[in-house]
């Protein structure tokens, strides 16, 4: 199969790129599940954009830089903040509905680390609303082909033409991808002029995550294998408040917008503990709140703290957070009367595949967008609700860049089809599941909210064993989704540990007790 633009992933980043590029060439989107199985669909709090005074671009830039703990790329921050209003207009044109006040102005949320209300939202289901509008627009576009249940296995480069390549190979380029058709079990070769990896995050390398099961770091791992550069992988953001409901996967998020609305974190005793940790108390940046909860839980031996919104007007609580209200009711909690038990969970990968201001990776003809990428916007810690807007701004940047180069690029011929025949046995599935659990457990125990040199070293040793066993299995097994995901999670976990060991300080989301900070 040949296409101008091969987009891998159907979240906000991939769909927005497709809509922008489709006016200039044919777009093929492959996605491993149904179109709306993605992190985007779960986003609650909303999407950042400077909308009304007293907010300004300068304030949004400042908040992003402060939250990023000195690790942000200033140009990326300027780009996203200043272009955000344009992309919000595009979203509205594609049919997204944001909540408004009775006088017709956008109703703006506030979350941790923000000095102003600047988060547009649709109830507490903003991501689902954006995803709905994007999917409807994509379905109407005759220049976009969507292939659901198509799992990208690996990116094609000169390696597949028999050349020896490294991260330093000059002219290293991407020619498309090998893609597993999950329905037929065939591996298809899709050749493209440009390949866009928009496969989202990697929350499932941890036991507790707010991410849906599709977030297995596939794009980061594929780009790493294709010799693209990755960075900032140690900065895994833990969301402080997911519903404590043992056994539930993914962990259900209690949006930070609820703390922006006035909800207060409390210990079981009722003590409001955040004033010991930060002047912004319950609305402090996420890394601070997650570590504070971690610290309190370690002291008390409890498994959760509480979020209390019972002092707010019940009708207002129900109308702002209808989804959370209904969800909590199903486990017997009326959030207008009861405190909500919450605990942190892996939430967002601040690092990823290093890209420039056009979303271009270190490999030619290969772009990385959205949570898969590391644009430099988030630095050491992402400001809440900055990721959806980053995905959209960079999708637009990348589309403009690729479209301008389109006339000069040809499809690469001579790439061989996938030629491996193997087997899959039920017993292998059990091993895959067991290895996944072991990996998640070691990442949670040794590479979580608080790390140490020793814990990182142990994690790497144990991961190496799982890696070897998995490669052995991969080399004799016909690729299937579960095995490929495990392999990708191991590669992603490896990058988190490796880059974590290289950073000799505690900064942002990476807290190492051997390098304490105030
Ligand atoms: P996704 O939306 O995750 O899309 C990735 C796509 O790639 C999926 O379709 C997936 O199936 C596909 N895919 C993955 N691997 C493969 C493969 N090998 N082959 C084919 N397809 C593949 N951010 C905000 O800005 N505001 C919020 O309020 C907010 N709330 C959040 C709440 C929750 C519970 C979560 C989990 C995240 C939240 N985030 C929020 C973060 C934000 O949702 C994500 O960072 C963003 O949606 C990522 O978009 P994306 O397009 O990069 O990836
Ligand atoms: C939330 O609603 O708390 C999540 C926002 C985000 O992750 O940006």
**What is the pLDDT at residue 518?**
59
**What is the pLDDT at residue 158?**
96
Contact at 8 Å (CB) between 384 and 437? no
Positions in the chain short of pLDDT 70? 422-426, 518
**What is the pLDDT at residue 16?**
98
**Sole residue written with tokens 């909308």:** 51
**What is the pLDDT at residue 396?**
98
Distance CA 319, CA 475 (A): 53
Gap from CA of 212 to ligand 1 centroid (Å): 9
Ligand number nearest to the C-alpha of 121:
1
Q: Between β-strands 352-354 and 373-374, what pairing exists: parallel, antiparallel or unpaired?
A: parallel
**What is the pLDDT at residue 489?**
98
- Ligand 1 contact via 49 beta carbon (within 6 Å): no
Ligand number nearest to the C-alpha of 130:
1
* Protein residue closest via CA to atom 1 of ligand 2: 255
Ligand number nearest to the C-alpha of 237:
2
User: 437 catalytic, yes or no?
Assistant: no
* pLDDT tens digits for range 30-72: 999 999 999 999 999 899 999 999 999 999 999 999 999 999 9
Distance CA 494, CA 460 (A): 7
Q: Between β-strands 27-30 and 2-8, what pairing exists: parallel, antiparallel or unpaired?
A: parallel
Gap from CA of 55 to ligand 1 centroid (Å): 27
Segment (H or E) for 502: helix 481-502
Cα–Cα distance list, 262 to 110, 266, 307, 309, 401 (Å): 10, 13, 10, 7, 43
Quote the DSSP letter at residue 272. -
Helices marked H in 301-447 — which ranges?
A: 314-320, 322-330, 387-405, 426-446
User: In 3D, which of 150, 221, 172, 123 has the Cα closest to residue 6?
Assistant: 150
Task: State percent of the chain over pLDDT 70.
Answer: 99
**Sole residue written with tokens 């390949």:** 195
- Ligand 1 contact via 30 beta carbon (within 6 Å): yes
The full length of the chain comes to 518
Segment (H or E) for 27: strand 27-30
Of all atoms in ligand 1, which is nearest to the CA of residue 151?
19
- Which of 80, 111, 286 is the pocket-test mutation for ligand 2 (most atoms within 8 Å of CB)? 111
Phi/psi-derived region of residue 247, left when phi > 0, alpha when psi is between -120 and 50, beta in every other case: left
**What is the pLDDT at residue 223?**
98
**What is the pLDDT at residue 63?**
96
**What is the pLDDT at residue 243?**
98
- Which of 7, 8, 10, 11 is the pocket-test mutation for ligand 1 (most atoms within 8 Å of CB)? 11
Q: What is the pTM of this model?
A: 0.97
- Which of 6, 29, 38 is the pocket-test mutation for ligand 1 (most atoms within 8 Å of CB)? 38
Of all atoms in ligand 2, which is nearest to the CA of residue 254?
3
Residues with C-beta less than 6 Å from any ligand 2 atom: 44-45, 253, 255-257, 348, 384-385, 387
Gap from CA of 336 to ligand 1 centroid (Å): 30
**What is the pLDDT at residue 429?**
87
CA dihedral of 254, 259, 265, 271, whole degrees rounded to 10: -150
Catalytic residue among 132, 286, 382, 462: 286
Ligand number nearest to the C-alpha of 8:
1
Gap from CA of 391 to ligand 1 centroid (Å): 9
Segment (H or E) for 294: helix 286-300
User: In 3D, which of 61, 365, 9, 73 has the Cα closest to residue 232?
Assistant: 73
Distance CA 398, CA 357 (A): 8
User: In 3D, which of 86, 150, 100, 55 has the Cα closest to residue 479?
Assistant: 150
Helices marked H in 54-207 — which ranges?
A: 57-67, 74-93, 126-140
């Amino acid at each position: 199969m040949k296409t101008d633009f091969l987009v891998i992933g159907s979240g906000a980043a991939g769909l927005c790129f497709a809509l922008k590029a489709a006016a200039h060439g044919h777009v093929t989107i492959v996605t491993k599940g149904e179109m709306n199985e993605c992190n985007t669909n779960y986003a609650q709090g909303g999407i950042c954009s400077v909308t009304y005074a007293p907010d300004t671009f300068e304030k949004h830039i400042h908040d992003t830089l402060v939250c990023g703990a000195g690790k942000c790329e200033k140009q990326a921050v300027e780009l996203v903040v200043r272009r955000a209003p344009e992309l919000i207009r595009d979203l509205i044109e594609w049919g997204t509905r944001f909540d408004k006040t009775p006088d017709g102005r956008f109703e703006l949320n506030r979350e941790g680390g923000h000095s102003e209300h600047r988060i547009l939202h649709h109830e507490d289901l903003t991501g689902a609303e954006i995803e709905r509008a994007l999917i409807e627009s994509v379905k109407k576009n005759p220049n976009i082909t969507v292939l659901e249940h198509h799992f990208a296995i690996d990116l094609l480069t000169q390696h597949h033409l028999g050349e020896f390549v490294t991260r330093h190979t000059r002219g290293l380029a991407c020619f498309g991808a090998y893609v597993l058709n999950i329905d037929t079990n065939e591996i298809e070769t899709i050749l493209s002029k440009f390949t866009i990896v928009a496969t989202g995050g990697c929350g499932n390398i941890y036991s507790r995550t707010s991410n849906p099961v599709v977030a297995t770091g596939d794009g980061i791992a594929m780009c790493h294998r294709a010799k693209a550069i990755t960075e900032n992988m140690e900065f895994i953001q833990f969301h402080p408040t997911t519903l404590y409901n043992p056994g539930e996967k993914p962990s259900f998020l209690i949006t930070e917008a609820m703390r922006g609305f006035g909800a207060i974190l409390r210990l079981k005793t009722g003590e409001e503990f955040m004033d010991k940790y930060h002047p912004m108390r319950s609305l402090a940046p996420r890394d601070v709140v997650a570590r504070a909860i971690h610290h309190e839980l370690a002291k008390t031996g409890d498994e959760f703290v509480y979020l209390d919104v019972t002092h707010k007007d019940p009708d207002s609580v129900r109308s702002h957070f209808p989804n959370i209200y209904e969800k909590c009711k199903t486990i017997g909690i009326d959030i207008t009367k009861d405190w909500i038990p919450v605990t942190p969970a892996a939430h967002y990968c601040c690092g990823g595949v290093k890209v420039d201001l056009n979303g271009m990776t270190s490999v030619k003809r290969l772009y990385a967008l959205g949570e898969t990428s590391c644009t430099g916007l988030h630095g050491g810690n992402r400001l809440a609700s900055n990721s959806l807007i980053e995905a959209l701004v960079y999708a637009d940047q990348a589309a403009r860049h690729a479209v301008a180069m389109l006339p000069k690029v040809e499809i690469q011929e001579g790439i061989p089809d996938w030629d491996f025949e193997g087997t899959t046995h039920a017993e292998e599935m059990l091993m895959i599941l067991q290895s996944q659990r072991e990996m998640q457990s070691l990442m949670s125990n040794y590479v979580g909210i608080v790390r140490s040199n020793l814990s990182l070293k142990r994690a790497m040793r144990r991961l190496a064993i799982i890696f070897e066993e998995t490669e052995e299995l991969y080399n004799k097994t016909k690729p299937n989704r579960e095995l490929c995901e495990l392999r990708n999670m191991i590669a992603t976990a490896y990058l988190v540990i490796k880059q974590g060991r290289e950073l000799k300080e505690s900064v942002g989301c990476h807290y190492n007790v051997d390098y304490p900070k105030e």
